[in-house]
Amino acid sequence: MDPVKVIEIKKSIFEDNEVDADNLRKELKTKGVFLLNLMSSPGSGKTTTLIQTINLLKEKLHIAVMEADIDSNVDAVKIKEATGIPSIQLHTGGMCHLDAEMTRQGLDNVDLEGLDLVILENVGNLVCPAEFDTGSCKNAMILSVPEGHDKPLKYPLMFSICDVVVINKMDVLPYFDFDLEKCKEYVHMRNPKAKVIPICAKTGEGVENFAGWLLQEVKNWKN
């Protein structure tokens, strides 16, 4: 038996995503639920980072996760097994991103009553998800060391819309030509206000900084 709920997301029929997104944010504000949109390339460690973050926060906040993937539900299963929190899988059926309407289809399957935080793990893609406001309260992204420090030059929009850039896989820094200072400089070229947080999701090192930022943002949202 499949241990997680799988939702087949339908293509949005509404035209104005910005209006949809703003409406969704207003609703979430009224309900006191904070929605985080987490983005990255495939394989940068979104799921592992989420597991570590949730395990640091789950005594302080009521959390649920929506895992978006084109196919497969390995991530939602992993999150549920490793953290015990409610986790559902959204299948995009080949679509490369989620917009606000699609995010709402997912949220319709989450019991928001009493929840503080919903984390949306977007499709692994540095291009398209950046173009669509999901209705999230904040955007975060993960860039992993093996991907290279030049990515803010090549994927400008993604870096410009993210409030936080988590730099993952810091443990393998010695084996790659990755310059953290240069990376920070490039991120800030795109978005001077972006917070850059180096972590190693595998060992958990630095994850408390990301969790701390998230906890504060949820508190701000609820006040």
160 sits near a second copy (criterion: CB under 8 A) = no
Angle in degrees, 0-180, between the axes of helices 100-107 and 17-31, rounded to the nearest 10: 40
96 sits near a second copy (criterion: CB under 8 A) = yes
146 sits near a second copy (criterion: CB under 8 A) = yes
Q: Which is nearer to a second copy, 112 or 157 (CB)?
A: 157
Residues touching a second copy, count (CB under 8 A): 34
124 sits near a second copy (criterion: CB under 8 A) = yes
Q: Which residues contact 69 (CB under 8 A, 6 or more apart)?
A: 75, 89, 90, 91, 92, 123
**Rounded least distance, CB 4 to a second copy, Å:** 15
163 sits near a second copy (criterion: CB under 8 A) = no
125 sits near a second copy (criterion: CB under 8 A) = yes
Q: Binding a second copy by CB under 8 A: which of 8, 60, 153, 182?
A: 153
Cα 79 to Cα 56: distance, rounded to the nearest angstrom? 14
93 sits near a second copy (criterion: CB under 8 A) = no
SS3 per residue for 61-122: CCEEEEEEECCCCHHHHHHHHHHCCCEEEEECCCCCCCCHHHHHHHHCCCCCCCCCEEEEEC
126 to 145, contacts with a second copy by CB under 8 A?
126-128, 131, 144
24 to each of 4, 29, 42, how far by Cα in Å?
Answer: 25, 9, 27
204 sits near a second copy (criterion: CB under 8 A) = no
Beta bridge partners of 90: 7, 68
H/E stretch holding 34 reads strand 34-40
Question: In this chain, which stretch among 19-27, 36-44, 133-141, 212-220 interacts with a second copy, using CB under 8 A?
Answer: 36-44
Report the interface residues with a second copy, using CB under 8 A: 41-44, 69-72, 74, 94, 96, 123-128, 131, 144, 146-148, 150-151, 153-157, 169, 171-172, 175-176
